[in-house]
Amino acid sequence: MVRPVRLRSLAFLAFVFAAVAFVIGASFLAYSLQPPRPPPPSNLVFSDIALVDGNASFEILNVTGGPYSNAGFQITLVVNDFSGGPIAIGLNNSVTRIAIGPNEYRIVWSDSNGDSAVDISDTFFVTGDGGPLPALSYYELDLRWQMQWTAKATWSTP
């Protein structure tokens, strides 16, 4: 035998749904009125990429929170959404090789003041293995500091 539904229980159920809707609406309104959070600061700021003879180079324009010893950095190179690395950054002016598919790439870090720290005016060079970078490709170089943050440089070849 089915119990008849009382009008009082329907009113209570409607009140509960209205209260839940009010709490959700008030939460949404309070969240949407908050000012947007500023983006996290970049620890390294790179110059625009210069393509010379089909190879890329860029310089560090600004460093925040350093100095950062080169021993703490790892490099990941992404070419057309395929990545190679991470590999520890090489010593000053040494070649770090990264293989992605059939291609091998060379990355050189040039320490401008010889202090073994990645800082302002240091330069990175990215080249193909014995030739220019492959054409019609998108590149991203990720420079990661001790798994804490990553600075990115992106470019494409014509």
Residue by residue, pLDDT tens for the chain (158 residues) are 666 656 577 778 888 889 999 999 888 888 888 887 766 667 899 999 999 999 999 999 999 987 899 999 999 999 999 999 999 999 999 999 999 999 999 999 999 999 999 999 999 999 998 899 999 999 999 999 998 889 999 999 99
Q: For residue 25, report the phi and psi dihedrals to the nearest 5 degrees.
A: -65, -45
> CA-to-CA distance for 151 and 144, rounded, in angstroms?
6
CATH code, residues 44-156:
2.60.40
Instruction: Give domain limits for the chain.
Output: 44-156
